[in-house]
Amino acid sequence: MCGIVYKSSFYTESDIPRFVKSCELLNHRGPDEWGYVLNNRHMLGHKRLSIVDLINGHQPMSNDDHHLIYNGELYNIEELKRYLINDGINLDNCGDTFLLFNLLLKYNESIINSLNGIFAFVYIDKDEVIAARDPFGVKPLYYSFYDKDIIISSEIKSILSYKEESIVDRTGICELLGMGPSHSQGKTVFKDIYELKPGHYLKFSKSKGFTIHRYYELKAYPFNYSYKETVKRVRELLDKAIKRQLISDVGVSTFLSGGLDSSIISTVVARQIPKLDTYSIDYEDNDTDYKANAYEIERDNSYALKVSNAIKSNHHMEVISTDDVVKLLTHVVDLKDFPGMTDIDSSMYYLATKIAKDHKVSLSGECADEIFGGYPWYYKKEKEACYFPWIRNIEFRESLLNPKIKDKINLSKYVENEYNEAIKEVKFLPDDTPTMKKQRELFYLNTKYFMTNLLDRKDRMTMGASLEVRVPFCDRNLVEFLYNVPFKYKYRSKTEKKLLRDAYKDIVIPDVIERKKSPYPKSKSKKYDEIVKNLVLKALDNKDSILYQIFDIEEVIKLVNSDIEFDIPWYGQLMRKTAMLAYIYQIDYWGRKYNIKLEL
């Protein structure tokens, strides 16, 4: 995996060090190599984490006035080679960068929809720029405009280095406090900085202008498989996805929490790789402070060890101290460029640093809940305050706003509008019942919004440690198949993800197959709660803090001093009161570090 930056043209020699500096902000994404193409029409920078084709995969890759910078992995290489088989190109043992470059040379943007993998790239065809992102947004890509130039980067920080000010307008506030810690498709919290949507590509030239094109969408089609046939097909598709994602010229490891998804992946991988290294994370104070609830029924540790023993892996149980959780709350904002999932981000980054000491590649169970219907909102009839089931307590969020801001924005309406825009894209069949339509909507919203947020978090926290994480459940063929599988197959015998359980019950230990879903772990530390409260109060000592512009400070102080826990999470399944306070603390840090200017 890598970091990429592109800017169209430069005007003076002083532009070169500025561009190089913008690329160096991504050193964590690619510490092994760097490369540049700099001319008066294009500036391309590449930071490489060397994983496949270590000798010949140097970038930018160039041929006269054609250039490529690429971040990702292609998994259907043999299939793609057939497009070039008669062109006299030596494709023996070629890496995916060389293959992609030659495909683009021949087919231009028309080849993008044939790619199965995780990717973001910028391709230069003489004076025209083509930038593309994989179908589900595993790899990030952002763009903005600077004078008459376009800037494209793997991370926002490189683009901000070209901005005079970091401006957050009304839309940004709605993203931060309405959609946050997720975000809407194509948007960021920063004014005039955009995310290239998953499954889209852009084209730009100074003569033809700027356009965005959608090349991929989930399609509805009649489903005629029996349950038994569906189980078999899921096994075939996921096995194939896992095995082809093991392609690497360096060692591969896996995340192993002891939950169903990571246990399946680790079990399959262990059959391919002897002495597999597996990793899990827990929090220092959870030994004493953990209390089960409706979502977190039990801890993971014993299950991870049981699976590790069964597959004979070398398991690493990493434990993050409360002090490290707190210390990393600001660093993870630096990695993401805006506030995120607080302690969950801290622990993910911490775990990635431990894995990266011995490995550059790891496979994760991310995305299974979205496509197999594992979340409670798939099957519980709960009345939500807004339409996105993972965004809750909108009224509470609004109650925290500074009255001056509250008069100018409407968080509830903003989130509702985003939902309405999203479901317009859902594809139905003419004979879909209202129940089937609702399930398609949930599947679509989860893959396009909730899943992309988790993928973004996973990429930013792991690439921050120079670790590439692959996500077999996000395989294109598997997701497309599951989109049309009836929900009654996924949720069967009152058991979430029963379809997936049945597909792997012959190789995964029964304790895990029968285990109730358990989310990614969260800090339950009482010490952490107190530290976060004090951090917020300390931030409020600075009357110049951005918190005074955004929030009703009396309401924030009331929240700090209250002993009442939220009845339901304000985001997802886990983020309750302490997470909200940590998010407020991150906003204060972010405002100072990024010198945020509000434009309301």
Which residues belong to the active site?
2
One-letter-per-residue 3-state SS of 126-185:
CCEEEEEECCCCCCCCEEEEECCEEEEECCHHHHHCCCCCEEEEHHHHHHHHHHCCCCCC
Residue where the block lists tokens 């992995």: 73
Which of the 8 DSSP states describes residue 116? -
Q: Are residues 112 and 201 in contact, defined by beta-carbon separation less than 8 angstroms?
A: yes
Torsion region of 129: left, alpha or beta (phi above 0 gives left; psi -120 to 50 gives alpha): beta
Which pair of structure tokens corresponds to residue 145? 């405009």
What angle (nearest 5°) sits at the alpha carbon of residue 323, between those of residues 318 and 328? 80
Neighbours of 333 (CB within 10 A): 21
Rounded alpha-carbon distances, angstroms, from residue 16 to 53, 123, 294: 29, 20, 55
Q: Is the peptide bond between 60 and the residue preceding it cis, with omega within 30 degrees of 0?
A: yes
| φ and ψ at residue 339, rounded to 5 degrees | -60, 150
CA distances (Å), origin 80, targets 57, 112, 181, 521:
17, 11, 37, 39
Q: Which of 296, 290, 361 lies closest to 319 in space, CA to CA?
A: 290
DSSP character for 566?
A: P
* 296 secondary structure, DSSP code: -
